[in-house]
Structure 1
């Protein structure tokens, strides 16, 4: 990997903090993938006929999709723009986000139907015994141990990824971290289902599986909504999609303070890690000098590393939907 590719997104050189965060995020994702693969193997070895364990195993498989999507998207986003791709490859992040979201949604629908049908049919999943180091033990104990192993790691990984997602403004990484942080609920639900079977509550396993499935479906719906908004050129939002990005107001305030600007409108769309930025200004004297426009563009670029492909255009009238201030 060349130095250029690890220190930039396309032709935008990253600040030192973002460079460190990108390298760290890649390392964390690779380590996380190795760990998640081990979880898939461990759960497959002990899941038996438990519906909750089956659903937990499938969710572990699904957990592989976001980190893979992040690594692929990060690699594409570092490519420079070309004549064929004049805007660069930053949309790879949004594409990866949508692919992971659709996979989550589809599997969530399947798991909810599968879990609910098991409850309707009143299936009684048996948990027998097995020989472990020369001793006969209830098979539920290895299942619970496996759930503890698969439940602790994602919480730690999620807490490591969340600040990196904010620093890099990476929504695929955020979606992955959010799923990781919630994985302890999957493990806890599976443990409760196993213990329920152990004390004779046949329905506990199915209820736990349905709860886990509903969580997967909810994650899928949420992430599809967020990914689609970005790909449809919605207004740039924070890395967690909780609110419009504050850099929009900062650009409006910066341009509005210029003594030669009468009115301003700002249009910023999220291309992945970077923001395509268009600024429409109405000059007071109805004439804007090239030096003024270029100086304004440089000041805007200096506001935030994410502001990319900044265009400052003089216009006679700012479109009504772009008039500052923009509010929810």
Structure 2
């Protein structure tokens, strides 16, 4: 994310990405509906259903983004960022249900079998769908790079699967044009599994955020390294990190020499906070100052307690 990105610009970009997704999905619903009526293709019905799901989840995303962007208040002191993760979890559940429906529809088409009409219309619509989806994903990727929004990232992940899905349906229609009508049902089933995989990815990311999973190891190592670059810092411990929406929460204990004033210690904490804000824009940072002698005393007490604790054998626990 751009270090100089202001909150107002962030809000504008993520809202723009949300509206773009709704517009693209709505446009594809219209053309796919026409193609399905003209062809009767099960695989086109599958991708039409997916587009209906897309517009629903994109609307949910846009609403979640609006909630997540609200500032912290008296009842939500840590902000509303987890609304994005809740939206992602709702997307995963909705996508999973839809994929099961598509799977049964594909099995029915494969077992019963039927010819497809106007395959050229279907092929043209699917080529158009692939182009529109590629353009949308490219725009979303730009927004994610600028904002690091989890909601837009989840939405983009789903639309990336749509590119492959639309390509698969396009291939199925081409094969059906040569009389291989079984391909329509097979590809509908394959699409359902692909969508289910995308749901699992979105759900995993959302659950990680809701369960306050720590930031990546590379981020935590960067935090510790930044702390040691501050002159006079003797150590770092009890580092805790998590992600909520677009806000990274960072808490740590900073070990400093005893023989300095409170003002000097406070200045070092300010230097570290400023450096971390440069690396992690809009992060919520909490730094606790610990005298080095107290830290060493606590470590010594922990070591003595461990060495003097009785060792209980398995026989004693019976």
Q: TM-score when scaled to structure 1?
A: 0.78
Query: How far did 1:153 drift?
Result: 0.5
Q: Does 1:24 align with 2:13?
A: yes
Query: How far did 1:24 drift?
Result: 3.4
**How does 1:43-122 map onto structure 2 within 5 Å?**
43-48=32-37, 49-119=40-110, 122=111
With 294-303 and 207-216 compared, the bigger mean Cα shift is at 294-303
Q: Does 1:159 align with 2:141?
A: no
Q: Looking at secondary structure, tell me which structure has more helix per residue.
A: 2
Partner of 2:224 in structure 1?
Answer: 252
Q: Tell me if structure 2 keeps the 8 A contact 1:255–1:261.
A: no
Query: How far did 1:160 drift?
Result: 1.2
Distance in 1 between the 2:63 and 2:113 partners? 42
CA shift in 2, pair 1:260/1:305, >3 Å: closer
With 33-42 and 279-288 compared, the bigger mean Cα shift is at 279-288
**How does 1:115-154 map onto structure 2 within 5 Å?**
115-119=106-110, 122-128=111-117, 139-154=118-133
Unaligned ranges ≥5, structure 1: 1-13, 129-138, 237-243, 321-328
Q: Secondary structure at the match of 1:64?
A: helix
Unaligned ranges ≥5, structure 2: 300-318
**How does 1:179-198 map onto structure 2 within 5 Å?**
179-198=158-177
Query: How far did 1:283 drift?
Result: 3.4
Distance in 1 between the 2:57 and 2:283 partners? 25
Query: How far did 1:66 drift?
Result: 4.2
Partner of 1:292 in structure 2?
Answer: 265
Q: Tell me if structure 2 keeps the 8 A contact 1:77–1:91.
A: yes
Query: How far did 1:162 drift?
Result: 0.8
Partner of 2:208 in structure 1?
Answer: 229
Distance in 1 between the 2:212 and 2:55 partners? 28
Q: Tell me if structure 1 keeps the 8 A contact 2:224–2:236.
A: no
Q: Secondary structure at the match of 2:204?
A: helix
Q: Secondary structure at the match of 2:240?
A: strand
Distance in 2 between the 1:311 and 1:224 partners? 29
Q: How many residues align?
A: 288
CA shift in 2, pair 1:68/1:15, >3 Å: farther
Distance in 1 between the 2:49 and 2:261 partners? 60
Q: Based on CA coordinates, which of the two structures has the bigger radius of gyration? A: 2
Distance in 2 between the 1:17 and 1:282 partners? 33
Distance in 2 between the 1:52 and 1:288 partners? 72
Q: Tell me if structure 1 keeps the 8 A contact 2:82–2:209.
A: no
Q: Tell me if structure 2 keeps the 8 A contact 1:101–1:223.
A: yes
Query: How far did 1:267 drift?
Result: 1.1
Query: How far did 1:304 drift?
Result: 3.3
Query: How far did 1:284 drift?
Result: 4.0
Q: TM-score when scaled to structure 2?
A: 0.80
Q: Tell me if structure 1 keeps the 8 A contact 2:20–2:136.
A: no
Partner of 1:40 in structure 2?
Answer: 29
